[in-house]
Structure 1
Amino acid sequence: MIQTIETEVKKVVMQYQELLKDWLPTHSSIAIAQNDTYIYFSSTNENFQLSVGTPVLKESIAYRVLQKNSKIDAMIDSTLFQQPYYGVGYPITLSNKPAALIIILPPSFQFPQVEPLSFLTGKNEEGWFPIALEDIMYIESLQKKTWFYCKSEQLTTTITLKELQLRLPSYFIRIHRSYIVNILFIKNISRDMSSSFQLILKDGTTLPISQSYISEVREILSF
């Protein structure tokens, strides 16, 4: 029985790889989930540590596909893959039972084009203030709120970091699950006491670069 399922899974993967090859980026990962576990996973990304038998978490695309029986695409921040990822999930059938085929796209994947922002409207005790993006030093997710900082001001916005990542211009980069930084305000890059990378901004603010983002940050900033 197990061998029959494995054979069917391999056939399904080969069929979908053939169908998706025209748009599927190089180094994409593929997973299949059925019931409440993953039954197939293939990846060249060492940060995507998933194995057959791993439970399907409620935060995952696989869970949403299995629950709604519909295509789901999303940027996932909280993930068992040790780093945020953009994925697309499709409902399929295996052995006459519902399953989910998940395509996990590589970090270099260009997100779908959406209307870019030119300013953020922030709120403090005095009211609401539209702030030009070029005046914003960095943006932070803290205590379930999104904050952004410009000079000595600290304002909050209703837009999440996940949404902002899709709509900010290229001079903003994600360096951490909690931080997006304006490259124009970076003074230098150094290592901390544990040899992890960190950014020093022109106003003296120090921000950590997480391991999940270091490769992409080094590529963008060329160091």
Structure 2
Amino acid sequence: MEISKDELLPYIAMLEDWIPKEASIAIAVRDEYIYCDAKKQNLRLENGQKVKEGSITEIAMQTCCRTEGIVEDFILSEPYYGIAYPINILEETGALIVILPSKQPVINPTPYRFLTGKLEEEWRPIPIEKIAYMESLQKKTWFYADKEPYKTSIPLKELQQRLPESFLRIHRSYIVNVAFIDRIIRDFSSNLLVLLQDGTELPVSQTYTADVRSALGF
């Protein structure tokens, strides 16, 4: 897509007052990247490169919501944290992506108020209090609300840092919303099991048993 640098300057300039000077910036319109200003990161982006399905760039454009998470490894030589903002350029849907430098603190560390997940071919923002639990399965992250599975590009490790206190890590593969716990029992091996109100059973690994006991007070 042919858009001149002069047409992009207003979108770039609006970031200069608040983003770290070391942060990289990319701009995408429709399904491709049209601008890249790499700082210290090793960006592997070229004009015309396609936006990857499930990336924070695609999510921001499809949902028209600010989206953040780990930037894809096909863009960077190592993982970095990025924030994508939906924008409109010459009446075209686009996204402005800020890629933060390594060890740079997150601009807005407040807890998530909602998560946007993919269900079939739709992206839906789900209020965080409606999410019963989150799961890492086959290198993908899922969260469950009203028994519906939603896919997100944000790994559990990153989610855990931004979740409200009502969410508890119980296993390498599971984070649970305490508000949805019905009871905790032991299985035949005397390991703890978390039973949710909808009947879902989630294992508590030995690594997190002490943390679960401390958090829930038993």
- TM-score, normalization by structure 2: 0.50
